[in-house]
Amino acid sequence: MADTDGVDIETFAGNCERYLLTLQQQGKSPHTLSAYRRDLLQLAEILRQRPSENGVRRQDLVAVLKKLSQQNLGERSLARKLSVWRQYCGWLVQQGIAVQDLAANIRAPKQPQRLPKALQQEPLNRMFDQSSDDDVLALRDQALFELLYGSGLRLSEAQGLDVADISLESGWVRVSNGKGGKQRQVPLTGKSMAAIQAYLPLRIAAADETALFTNRNGKRLGQRQIQKRLQEWSLKQGERHISPHMLRHSYASHLLQSSRDIRAVQELLGHSSLSTTQIYTKLDFDHLAKIYDETHPRAKRKK
């Protein structure tokens, strides 16, 4: 080591393979080891380009992170690299190679909020109306997809529904979101009720199976199966890709565009925090600002 603050660059770089061997002995996959090796070798290469008599120090790692950021590397990739550096630097301290954790308290770049796009209302509704297959699996899928969009259900919520959760007489569905066992009541659309009514008499069910949506063997339909069936359906309808979350996002966005009632949308989505709904639905802040200007007594703007 060069001093109490830094680690000699050759010592820092030369222990990478020892560290990777430790990870291999811990059962890390070849893919993970390859990714770790790539990130550590890249770090060592850049550090060698900026030699210092004080060795590798915390500010050097920060400078490398900044350099990679200026090369238009995505924030997700930067965060992953920093995670690898942190684990390696922590290991160096454990092995007595470094006195201080060089990567401690280095902040990862803020992750962008990535949400699926909301599908346009008219094309999406045309897609639902064009579905005309009448075999049991097609009817099941129609009822399932109508629920995902018509009631804004999460994939896990739709997959976990039982027949008893549906009340066609009252037009409501009881939803359990799996987060702390929370439940909520969500209204059914007329299209959803009609699709479920068409599907239920043909539903395949094994003995004692309570699931609303079942597979060919009468067992509860899996989440991966739902995603695959939706993908196949969207391709058949001429859309390249539709995911369950895209339908939920479309539900939220279309409701907000029509009602402008974010509290109602929050309740229907099952969000405990209003801020989650604001991000999720991509609020039209220009519209909100207009409402504020028109209604708040102290917000009148001079023309």
Instruction: Confirm whether 20 is domain-assigned.
Output: yes
Count: domains in the chain: 2
- Span 51-67, pLDDT tens digits: 777 788 888 999 998 88
Pair 45, 184 in one domain: no
Instruction: Confirm whether 278 is domain-assigned.
Output: yes
Instruction: Confirm whether 100 is domain-assigned.
Output: no
What percentage of the chain has pLDDT greater than the value 70? 80
Pair 53, 190 in one domain: no
Contact 251, 151 (CB under 8 A): yes
Phi/psi for 284 (5° steps) reads -80, 90
Pair 172, 272 in one domain: yes
Examine the fold and report which residue of 94, 111, 146 is the final residue of a domain before the chain moves on: 94
Q: Is 21 exposed, middle or buried (0-12, 13-18, 19+ CB in 10 A)?
A: exposed
Instruction: Confirm whether 102 is domain-assigned.
Output: no
Identify the pLDDT of residue 6: 74
pTM for the full predicted model: 0.56
Instruction: Return the higher-pLDDT residue of 93 and 132.
Output: 93
Examine the fold and report which residue of 77, 94, 111 is the final residue of a domain before the chain moves on: 94
> Which band of pLDDT confidence, cut at 50, 70 and 90, is reported for residue 199?
very high
| Residue with tokens 């395949």, as numbered in its chain | 204
Pair 85, 129 in one domain: no
Q: Active-site residue numbers?
A: 154, 179, 245, 248, 271, 280
Pair 185, 242 in one domain: yes
Pair 40, 151 in one domain: no
DSSP state of 214: B
Average pLDDT value for residue range 2-16: 77
Instruction: Confirm whether 79 is domain-assigned.
Output: yes
Domain limits for position 72: 9-94
- Span 28-53, pLDDT tens digits: 888 899 999 999 999 999 998 877 77
Examine the fold and report which residue of 76, 94, 112 is the final residue of a domain before the chain moves on: 94
For helices 136-150 and 244-259, the axis angle rounded to 10 degrees is 40
Instruction: Confirm whether 108 is domain-assigned.
Output: no
Instruction: Confirm whether 116 is domain-assigned.
Output: no
Identify the pLDDT of residue 277: 60
Instruction: Confirm whether 297 is domain-assigned.
Output: no
Structure token digits, residue 148: 């995902």
Pair 154, 61 in one domain: no
The enclosing domain of 193 has a CATH number of: 1.10.443.10
